[in-house]
Amino acid sequence: MAASKKIIAEIEHLRNEINQHNYLYHSQDDPIISDAEFDRLFRDLKSLEKQYPELISNVSPTQRVGSTPLSSFSQVVHELPMLSLDNAVGKDGVFEFDRRIKTRLQSDGDIRYACEPKIDGVAVSLLYENGQLTRGATRGDGTTGEDITQNVRTIESIPLQLMGQGYPRRLEVRGEVYFAKSAFRKMNELAHSRGEKVFANPRNAAAGTLRQLDSKLTAQRKLAMFCYSVGLAEGELPDRHSEILARLGTWGLRVNPLVDVVIGAGRLVEYFNSIGEQRESLDYEIDGVVFKVDDIGLQQELGMLTRTPRWAVAHKFPAEEGITRLNDVEFQVGRTGAITPVARLEPVKVGGVTISNATLHNMDEIARLGLVVGDTVVVQRAGDVIPKIVSVMLEKRPRKTRKVKLPAACPACGSEILRSEGEVVVRCTGGLSCSAQVKESIRHFASRLALDIEGLGDKLVEQLVDEGLIENAADLYQLTEENLVKLERMAPKSANNLLEALEKSKETTLPRLIYALGIQEVGESTARNLAMRFGDLDALQNADEELLQTVADVGPIVAHKIHHFFQQKNNLAVIDSLVEIGLQWKVEETTVGEQRLNGETWVLTGSLSKLTRNDAKARLQRLGAKVSGSVSKNTSCVVAGEAAGSKLTKAQELGIKIIAEDDLIVLLEEYGA
């Protein structure tokens, strides 16, 4: 069915509205609608485009998900070279740059300069033709770069279609693609928890992401871009650099908000100092500032050297690297049991801060560096990134050195340590009793999906452990009103409420108890499957790895971790203590044979009004279903509540069965869940 003029207009209106909200959110940091409302607009557009696929445009905001993987990148020859910048060293270098400008222009007056932070990212070129993004390329050697169009199209701060009007027919925009510090930390934390490779710094992460042959992977990482100049332009542009940047902003391109215009060399130094003071608080890495003669006519008069323009200079911050000696390597145990090597260094000043410790991430990193105790090393510190050793000066290696060896047991509790196949992270297996993990294990034990101990929040757990009142989860049940009221902000009523909640938590279920133990890789669903398979904690404790693998969702790695957990005497001692204080549990009556949804994967999305999300999930799991947080081709059914978002859209695209909450309730009642 051909689309009517009304449908065409509606699609165009939705695209324009979404582009405007994207611009306000990503470029102006000033959203005017909620995320839910934005998701609704996006969902409406995708629905219309699905009905009328002939109207899908490559500049539609729905087309940022990534394309078919490439086998290699093609080369792009820049129509105008992407030059590098000369560097002004120190305050004297800035005044010398200004003096050279005045001499060449034969001027005694102060020069007007455009100033901006120098983003520590990856330089890219974007080509727009008639307002549409047609090509993205890396800087390369300045003359030839790589075609990364598919990847830059996934970056939400890069418009696929320029806004407004008056832009040149062909416009090449240049800028810096970077990883926000916050997004970088989250990505590395997730990678570390999965035992995957972590990136050394945001710049390396941005470069690696832009060079992914599969743009779907690029789309999953939150890159951003600041535009800093224009290369090719077939059309009229303002005659000042600062005004060109402002014009780019009106066309939807993102420009750094700290761009400023100053007059005279003294003000350049002031700007540099001001940006330096703000550096730590910025959510992106910068390594200096850039000064450019603002007048385009004067830029042309000043001209170029072989590889650098005469009218611009970079003024970098002091180097944040230092050279020192590695005195020792110690191993620390994190709150999740990850054992991390930490370098103990001869104190050295780097970027104005004295460094005596540096992270080494894992044993693979030590092997990569070829590091031994006694080595002379290069230490790097960048912004708020933890200092790290980046290289070893082998020529300075002394005769007497010592190899770095992984400890045989956990340094905190003496439990066995385990490195699973395919992982780089080594972990302590004494989760319930390890002093380094005690706060995290107790928080998990008391959480809503575990023993659900009301009133036992994070701050109270901190107090109880710090005051020496508890050392493991079993100790919770030895607490008294007398020792609780001594804590800060703990009145008798609050103390009694907590004691009542603890007493109530003694009556639980086997799935909740298994989940509460905090065994690595054992989530709520796996805990339920283990409970249904073994029926009792003793049977689970005595199961070997082969038997464990007969449980749904339990493969060799998870079976290995479960078995190891129950081999640790410290863990068994805590479990015995829990039994002694009266903890009791019951097994769900449903057996595997009665699980009507066994082998199916269900997804819940949107807001449910009659069931809680946890209730719906638990009842589906009792029927044998796996409840997932994401939609894929393996999804059996999606339950769509109010304001369902992208999961519903994806389910529609994949042709997956979709039901409403009322339909789910009917099904659950019919199957007796």
Active site residues: 118
Task: Quote the DSSP letter at residue 451.
Answer: T
**Alpha-carbon distances of 328 from 360, 369, 370, rounded to whole Å:** 12, 15, 15
The three-point CA angle 261-268-244 to 5° equals 25
Say which residue the tokens 């490439």 belong to.
Answer: 70
Say which residue the tokens 């003793």 belong to.
Answer: 538
Interatomic CA distance for residues 160 and 62, integer angstroms: 10
**Alpha-carbon distances of 284 from 120, 187, 573, rounded to whole Å:** 8, 15, 48
Tokens of 255: 């420009």
Q: Which residues pair with 261 in a beta bridge?
A: 114
SS3 339: strand
Say which residue the tokens 């410290």 belong to.
Answer: 570
H-helix segments, 600-660: 613-622, 646-654
Tokens of 12: 């165009």
Interatomic CA distance for residues 80 and 31, integer angstroms: 36
Q: Which residues contact 223 (CB under 8 A, 6 or more apart)?
A: 154, 155, 177, 178, 179, 206, 209, 210
Tokens of 250: 């009106």
Q: Mind giving me the DSSP string for 139-178?
A: -TTSSEEEB-HHHHTT-TTS-SB--SS---SEEEEEEEEE
Q: What is the distance of C-alpha 651 from the center of its chain?
A: 25
Among the listed residues 342, 275, 309, the one whose alpha carbon sits nearest the alpha carbon of residue 115:
275
Q: In this structure, which amino acid lies at residue 441?
A: S
Name the phi and psi angles at 113, rounded to 5.
-120, 140
Say which residue the tokens 């575990």 belong to.
Answer: 450
Interatomic CA distance for residues 296 and 244, integer angstroms: 10
Say which residue the tokens 């590395």 belong to.
Answer: 188
Helix, strand, coil percent values for the chain (each to nearest 5) = 40, 25, 40
Name the phi and psi angles at 465, rounded to 5.
-75, -45
Q: Please state, as a whole number, how many other Cβ atoms lie within 10 Å of the Cβ of residue 374.
A: 16
Tokens of 133: 């993004």
**Alpha-carbon distances of 429 from 95, 197, 267, rounded to whole Å:** 60, 22, 59
Tokens of 467: 């005051």
Q: Which residues pair with 135 in a beta bridge?
A: 127
What kind and span of H or E run contains 413? none
SS3 15: helix
